[in-house]
Chain A
Amino acid sequence: MTLLKVEDIKVYFPIRGGLFHTVVDHVRAVDGVSFELQKGETYGLVGESGSGKSTTGKAIVKLHQVTAGTITFQGKDLTYLSRGEMKPFRKDIQMIFQDPYSSLNPKKRVLDIIAEPIRNFERVSVTEERKIVQQYLERVGLNPDSIYKYPHEFSGGQRQRIGIARSLTLKPKLIIADEPVSALDVSVQAQVLNFLQDLQKEFQLTYLFVGHDLGVIRHMCDRIGVMYRGRLVEEGTSQDIYKNPQHIYTKRLMAAVPDLSPDARGQKIGLRKQVAEEYKQLYSTFFDENGRAYDLKPISATHKVALP
């Protein structure tokens, strides 16, 4: 069942300049991206910084206005809904933010932070609200007694869990995780990722997982879309992308994954050089004259590549 369908969305930001501060050009942050999310799966968006992956995620929760294209959630078009009309869908689509330091209001207690969505959507008594908050705190592995603490009293990993608890309180169907572990150290990353997977099983969640760490994405995602300069260049299952990358950019991205074994180091360097060389030679066949990737074309049942 298709939960979320994104069709050819574009997010352009105006560049203003000149004497009268007119729009001279646009930054094409997202330039025609389409994908579908099935219920219960994890879809990963990977790409380098500035490739538009976070912007895509934020456009779905309407933190950025979409310039063109449609976003369909459970068969309902969300693209041009007003704030008021969007409100019922906020309950079903939640977001986990990248930076656990700035995504929690420093002046609010944990209780107020996690209860914020409950206060917006449900009418519950104070004691009940406290009980719900404590229950979710316990679920994310924090001490339920810490509801009266402030965010700065927690470590980065704990803060991120508070952020996750906050996104869970409304029992959403879709969670957009915008690089949820990139600000955490590696030991905590594993904890949080496994925990996200446990939650997925428990609450039948669907994740749109935005990230640049290829190891993390591979660990988490069923299907992956590779983004470059605001466009998808390749889409497929984890196997397709990691074992059989077809697009030259994906190949280069995969070659960049570090290998921990020292024996393979020399071989890896050779491979990287070879791919870089190939990238230079084949650039013009994979990208059009403006450096824009072509539209996706299916090469197997699950695998799509941007080819001319």
Chain B
Amino acid sequence: MELNVNTEKHGQPIQITPSGRQLIWQQMKKDRLAMGSFILLVSILLFVYSAAFVMDAEEVARINLRALHQPPSLEHWLGTDYGGRDVFGQLIIGTRNSFTISFCITLLTALIGLTTGLVAGYFGGVTDHVVMRIIDFIISLPTTMFIIVLVTIIPEFTIWSFILVMTLFYWTGKARLIRSKVLAERELDYVQASQTLGTPHWKIMFFQIFPNVSSIIIVNFILNLAGNIGLESALTYLGFGLPESTPSLGTLISYARNPDVLEHKWWVWLPASVMILVMMLSINFVGQAIKRATDARQRR
């Protein structure tokens, strides 16, 4: 009789420990709030980005004198503002703009902060001193005043100039955070081992140290994303952000500076405020779940 043994089944399981992605997924499943927030956030973003893609931005920004300050109706789902512009359309495009701005600022600051933080922390000594003094200098500048001045003197203020101005001032925090982590990490033997194995510095920085500090970067990235949405709105509300021609959540809320709008025409500013609240909260809940996944002590 022929013995038919399937040897493949007797092999060892290939991977026993859960990977980072699996850990995050586990945490999300355990935390219903984070799961709900995640689904809500993804659906909001999917809807906003696809709707804004279809929508005509110029049509939304066009002033319609026959429909000033109309309350919500079937034609204008969320009413119109003082220029007769559709608030719902502005909300969609505004959310897209605000989120894009926040995402780009977070991404750019993360990239710059990561590189400078890694370089300063890894090399230490003179390099560290020079980089840290530059960072100290930028931090000591009155940020808000500088942004206001830059916004005023830049002739054509667009989303991209806004992102660049913000990035210029906000990468320092990330660089400091990453440097502090790298300082601790580079003392470990595996870094010295890599050096004796002839691995070049840049490879040690980006392929050896970086994976070990990546968890804190991801958490910081997500929590900053929420913060930066507020940053844009706050500046625009004060009148130093984006112009009205580029709708954002901040421009919609800034209409509430008019007491009449604030008191009687809630449909202009309330949806944008709720949108900010919902997005910031859900990003934060998701961020907290990921934070727990990356730190074994906080895991549930």
Contact = CB atoms under 8 A, between A and B. Distances in A.
Interface of A: 58, 61, 63, 87, 90-91, 93-95, 97-99, 102-108, 116-117, 120-121, 145, 148-150, 152-153, 163, 166, 170
B24 to A, nearest CB: 15
A295 B74 CA distance: 98
Given A107-B212, A153-B17, 13 more contacts: A91-B198, A94-B197, A97-B192, A97-B193, A103-B189, A105-B212, A108-B208, A108-B211, A116-B194, A149-B15, A150-B17, A152-B17, A163-B193
Contact of A116 (B11, B16, B197): B197
B54 interface: no
Interface string B1-35: 00000000001101111000000000000000000
B154 interface: no
Contact of A90 (B197, B211, B212): B197
A116 B16 CA distance: 23
Contacts of B197: 90, 94, 116-117, 120, 166, 170
B160 interface: no
Interface of B: 11-12, 14-17, 188-190, 192-200, 208, 211-212
B190 A148 contact: no
Nearest to A61: B196
A107 B189 contact: no
A63 B198 contact: no
A36 B159 CA distance: 67
Given A90-B198, A152-B17, A104 B192 contact: no
A102 B194 CA distance: 12
Contact of B189 (A61, A93, A98): A98
B212 A106 contact: yes
B192 to A, nearest CB: 5
A97 B189 contact: yes
Contacts of B190: 102-105
Contacts of A105: 190, 194, 208, 211-212
A170 B17 CA distance: 30
A149 B14 CA distance: 8
Contacts of A107: 211-212
A18 to B, nearest CB: 17
A6 B199 CA distance: 25
Q: Which of A58, A108, A116, A149 has the most CB of B within 10 A?
A: A116
Closest 6 CB pairs of A and B: A103-B189, A90-B198, A107-B211, A117-B197, A102-B189, A105-B190
Q: Which of B12, B14, B192 has the most CB of A within 10 A?
A: B192
Contacts of B14: 148
B189 A99 contact: yes
B193 A145 contact: no
A120 B17 contact: no
Nearest to B11: A145
A97 B15 CA distance: 27
Contacts of B198: 87, 90-91, 117, 120-121
Given A107-B211, A116-B194, A145 B189 contact: no
Contacts of A102: 188-190
A87 B193 CA distance: 14
A103 B12 CA distance: 26
A63 B196 contact: yes
Contacts of A97: 189, 192-193
A91 B199 CA distance: 11
